[in-house]
C-alpha cells in the first residue's frame, strides 16, 4: 500500500506484536509485509515528519506528507535490510528522512552558511523557538562527528530525526540509558562548537 491517502489510526500498544511480525516477515524477503505495515505506522511517521519540518528554516518547501512518501519509497527499495524490532525500524526511517531532507536541500541549492549559525537543540531535543541549522550544514557536521565517533553521531540522528527517547536509543545502539544521555550531551556540545566556530577538532 502506498501511503497516498492516509486514513490510518495511530499505532497503539496492541499493534506492537503485529508490527514485530511484519518487520520480521519483511526482513525475510516478504515485500508485501511492508505494505501491510504501512497503515499501522503511517501516522507515527507523519508526526515525525511534521516535527522535523517544523524545525526547518522557513525557506523549505517540503510538506510532511511528501517527506513521508519519499521516505516510504526509499524504504520500499531496501533489499538487504535486517530490521529486528520496532525501534530499529524507526531508526531506519529516521535515517531515510535525513537523506530525503538533505537531497531536497541540495536540489534547491540551500547550502547557506550565514555567520554565527547556532545549534538550538536542547538536551531533550525539544522544538526550539528559532529554526535549527540548514539541513546541509547539520548533515555535514554529523558526518564529521561520525568520522570521529560513529555512536555519538547515530545517537543524535535517532534523537533529532527519529524523535526517539533515550530508552529507545539505548535499545537500538545496545547501550545503557545513562550512556545514551552522556553520548548526547557530548555530541551536542561538539555540534554547537562545530556550527558556531568551525572548524572543530576532537570531542569534548
Judged against a pLDDT cut of 90, whether residue 54 lies above it is answered with: no
The stretch 64-73 carries a mean pLDDT of: 86
In this predicted structure, what is the pLDDT of residue 59?
Answer: 54
In this predicted structure, what is the pLDDT of residue 199?
Answer: 52
pTM to 2 decimal places: 0.63
For 175, the grid coordinates are: 547501550
**Spatial contact of 176 and 166, defined as CB atoms under 8 Å apart:** no
Judged against a pLDDT cut of 50, whether residue 191 lies above it is answered with: yes
In this predicted structure, what is the pLDDT of residue 1?
Answer: 39
Which helix (H) or strand (E) segment holds residue 98: the answer is helix 86-107
User: Given pLDDT bands bounded at 50, 70 and 90, which one contains residue 99?
Assistant: confident
Which residue has better confidence, 191 or 121?
A: 191
At 115-140, the pLDDT tens digits run 344 444 443 444 333 445 567 888 88
Judged against a pLDDT cut of 90, whether residue 147 lies above it is answered with: yes
Q: What is the 3-state secondary structure (H, E, C) of 146-195?
A: HHHCHHHHHHHHHHHCCCCCHHHHHHHHCCCHHHHHHHHHHHHHHHHHHH
In this predicted structure, what is the pLDDT of residue 29?
Answer: 80
Which residue has better confidence, 64 or 120?
A: 64
Instruction: Tell me whether residue 45 is exposed, middle or buried, using C-beta atoms within 10 angstroms of its C-beta: 0 to 12, 13 to 18, 19 or more.
Output: buried
Helix axes 177-196, 150-160, angle to 10 degrees: 90
In this predicted structure, what is the pLDDT of residue 79?
Answer: 65
Contacts of 193 (CB under 8 A, 6+ apart): 200, 204
**Spatial contact of 136 and 154, defined as CB atoms under 8 Å apart:** no
User: Given pLDDT bands bounded at 50, 70 and 90, which one contains residue 204?
Assistant: low
Amino acid at each position: 500500500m502506498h501511503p497516498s491517502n492516509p486514513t490510518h489510526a495511530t499505532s497503539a500498544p496492541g499493534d506492537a506484536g503485529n508490527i514485530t511480525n511484519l518487520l520480521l516477515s519483511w526482513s525475510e524477503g516478504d515485500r508485501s509485509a511492508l505494505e501491510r505495515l504501512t497503515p499501522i505506522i503511517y501516522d507515527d511517521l507523519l508526526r515525525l515528519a511534521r516535527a522535523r519540518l517544523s524545525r526547518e528554516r522557513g525557506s523549505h518547501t517540503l510538506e510532511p506528507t511528501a517527506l513521508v512518501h519519499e521516505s516510504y519509497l526509499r524504504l520500499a527499495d531496501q533489499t538487504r535490510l535486517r530490521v529486528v524490532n520496532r525501534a530499529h525500524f524507526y531508526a531506519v526511517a529516521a535515517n531515510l528522512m535525513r537523506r530525503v531532507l538533505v537531497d531536497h536541500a541540495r536540489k534547491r541549492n540551500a547550502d547557506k552558511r550565514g555567520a554565527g549559525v547556532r545549534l538550538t537543540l536542547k538536551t531533550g531535543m525539544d522544538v526550539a523557538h528559532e529554526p535549527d541549522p540548514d539541513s546541509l550544514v547539520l548533515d555535514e557536521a554529523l558526518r564529521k562527528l561520525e568520522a570521529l565517533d560513529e555512536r555519538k553521531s547515530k545517537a543524535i540522528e535517532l534523537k533529532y530525526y527519529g524523535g526517539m527517547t533515550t530508552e529507545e536509543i539505548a535499545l537500538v545502539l545496545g547501550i545503557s540509558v545513562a550512556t545514551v544521555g552522556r553520548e548526547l550531551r557530548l555530541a551536542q556540545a561538539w555540534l554547537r562548537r562545530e556550527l558556531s566556530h568551525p572548524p572543530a577538532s576532537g570531542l569534548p
